[in-house]
Chain A
Amino acid sequence: MSAPLPVLADAVREALERLLDRSDDFARAGLAIDRLEFAFGLDWQSDASLAVRAAADRDGVEPSTTIRVRLAARP
């Protein structure tokens, strides 16, 4: 099942909210989220809606999505 963009945006928002909720844990460890990157593989669907393409939808199994979380020491 492909994921329409609102579902994608909702998932990212929820991830950010979770990290904000845990900001005390990061502060206690002297760390801060320095960069958070989501690179989603996207496809145009037949109904012209932009959708997330899961790796299983393709011939290969190369993953289509990467997440990069970078943490840095607080000054």
Chain B
Amino acid sequence: MSDSSMQLEELQLADFVEGIACAVARAQFALDRNSAALVKELAETEVLVHAPRVFVDETVDADGDPVARETRTVDAPFRTNLLSLGLRPTFYQFARTTIDVALDLSTVEEIEESDDKTVKRRKVLKVNTGRVQRERRYTRSVEAHSRLTIELVPVPPPAALTDLGSLRAGTTQRRDDS
């Protein structure tokens, strides 16, 4: 079985910074996708509801002002989905994320040989946390060298989702042009 979580000994500094920052972005994207999937699931889950529904029929004049209003109650079971019943998933957002990482630095000379046998030498900074981990393991130091602080807060769902009306009651308007 291959080990997909193999620890890398060294990374270029740019790779490291990009990796930790993009990990948070990926996590936020996953949270959003999870909430969106839950909205879809709620919309696709139908239930039979035994409850009276109140409908308001309104007649308006040419200016849009109501001239008549009639309320009727329909007392019969009806099918609707969970979203229409008012169930909403909780949307979360990484309000603030701080990642402090303690590192070992080393300079490595990278040698690139092109097809025409030209050799290009370049010094690059490599980082790793191997020694930090060994320190903790062998000297039993319990001091934390790296710290991740996450502030995850619930946020209101998108406005269009909030505005979805309940199917249990409704108002219809009819224009009176007589």
Contact = CB atoms under 8 A, between A and B. Distances in A.
Interface of A: 1-4, 7-8, 10-12, 14-15, 17-19, 22, 25-26, 28-31, 33-34, 36, 40-41, 52-56, 61-73
Interface of B: 12-18, 20-22, 24-26, 28-29, 32, 93-109, 123-125, 127, 129, 131-132, 134-135, 145
B21 A14 contact: no
Interface centre among A29, A55, A56, A72 (most CB of B within 10 A): A29
Contacts, number: 143
Given A11-B13, A67-B101, A70-B97, A61 B106 contact: no
A63 B102 contact: yes
A31 B25 CA distance: 7
A67 B131 contact: no
**Interface secondary structure of A, over-half rule:** mixed
A31 B100 CA distance: 18
Contacts of B98: 68-70
A69 B129 CA distance: 16
